[in-house]
Chain A
């Protein structure tokens, strides 16, 4: 157990639908990062939150949004889903810039 909790582990939904992925960071970590990994691809950075504030944005589609709540958990909202959104979505947390990130086990999203 890495200490970063992601739910659900698997999600199957239809095109055009909206889903919410949830992440609880490791205890004490203020930063949360979301990454997307398509099949046999590298990890693409989506967005970062630090203590409730958006800190950085990557190649995140306008159909996607995220937020971090006062208890530091984060949610990634994906709407108007397309087949190409099928991927593994990782959440990671860190205490600061000096260390590596701790990853959750990911949410596998399948859009049918």
Chain B
């Protein structure tokens, strides 16, 4: 079985500041993929960033980057220069054995 845990139900950040969302996971698979999805009020699920477990280099997509610590089974998301449009639910997800498992989500609020 695989599990994904997001320990921060809510986070708040000032506009233009940086925020880090935490995620830990557990799997017995050696080959897996990790993702962060954003769910804005529209409820659409939007892929933000992905990380292949076999790659040591942390993934980056514009203002979004991850800190992937494989030994610690940790996968945090850093959002730089936060914008009002970043306000949303963020879900960490693990794809292992072709099964995508989600964490419980972190609600990010952005203060102007």
Interface positions of A (Cβ within 8 A of B): 2, 31, 33, 35, 37, 41-43, 45, 48, 55-56, 88, 90, 92, 96-103, 105-106, 108
Contacts and interface: CB of A to CB of B under 8 A. Distances in A.
Interface stretch (B14-22, B43-51, B63-71, B77-85): B43-51
Contacts of A102: 47
A103 B43 CA distance: 11
A97 B98 contact: yes
Contacts, number: 56
Contacts of B93: 100
Contacts of A43: 45, 91, 102
User: Interface residue tally of chain B, by bracket?
Assistant: 20 to 34
B27 interface: no
A99 B95 CA distance: 8
Contacts of B33: 97-100
A100 B104 contact: no
Interface of B: 33, 35, 37, 42-45, 47, 50, 52, 91, 93, 95, 97-105
A101 B50 CA distance: 11
B105 A42 contact: yes
Contact of B45 (A41, A97, A103): A103
A23 B90 CA distance: 24
Closest 7 CB pairs of A and B: A103-B45, A97-B98, A42-B104, A43-B102, A100-B47, A100-B35, A42-B102
Contact of A90 (B45, B47, B52, B97): B45
13 contacts: A35-B102, A37-B43, A42-B105, A43-B102, A56-B99, A97-B98, A98-B52, A100-B47, A100-B50, A101-B100, A103-B44, A103-B45, A106-B44
